Amino acid sequence: MAEHSDQGSNSYPFASRRQVAERLRTDRAFLLQAVRIMCERNAARIEGASGVTGWGSSDARKVEGPAKRLLEGSASEEDFAVLICVVPRYSRPIAAELRTEAMRDDVRLQAVAKRFGVQTPEGQTTNEASEDAAESVSPLEAAINGFLVAQGKARSGEIVAALQMERQPVVDCLRRMTDQGRLRRTGQGGGTYYEIPV
């Protein structure tokens, strides 16, 4: 079951690491799903899959028994306590796996994810212009995206002030992102706003 955040069309469409970690501490069904993901990743890593991380060595020993019992449906309160303590440390790979599942289940999310430079289920970033020439997202572009996700829309001056940067590089980046269709500009003159297109 894929998880994604449903916070509106301008929001990051997937569960963040923080959201995953918080939910792991309160939702036992979600904890089961996360343990299953991590156990599968751990098994793949042991079998030699490259680029896959599982449990850390010290955590693997701690969670081995509790995870097995949880997957079998016989976990005790003590097992849950161990898992609730350890599993949130792995919110990054869990969030990545949930994101991949969500995009696999709903290809429309791939188009939305393009604005955030998120990887597709095939492992390519969705902001790639082609398979051969990947377009990377600069730190400035990522900062602008992050600010606009949080604010919804903003004037260039507000973005410059929030990022605490020189005006011209930010304005140039806003123009470039608008020309590439990654931002939308609305209004005129002093009432011009930038936002992430829906």
Higher model confidence: residue 113 or residue 9? 113
Distance CA 7, CA 13 (A): 7
How high is the pLDDT of residue 140? Answer: 82
Lowest mean pLDDT among 106-115, 129-138, 177-186: 129-138
In degrees and rounded to multiples of 5, residue 119 shows phi and psi of: -75, 145
Confidence band of 31 (pLDDT split at 50, 70, 90):
very high
- The reported pTM is 0.56
Buried b (16+ CB within 10 A) or exposed e, 51-72: eeebbeeebbeebeebbebbee
How high is the pLDDT of residue 81? Answer: 95
pLDDT greater than 90 at residue 4: no
Distance CA 98, CA 88 (A): 14
How high is the pLDDT of residue 3? Answer: 54
Per DSSP, the three-state class of 85 is helix
How high is the pLDDT of residue 119? Answer: 57
What's the CATH architecture for 139-195?
Orthogonal Bundle (1.10)
Higher model confidence: residue 152 or residue 76? 76
Confidence band of 128 (pLDDT split at 50, 70, 90):
very low
Domain parsing of the chain, residue ranges = 17-116, 139-195
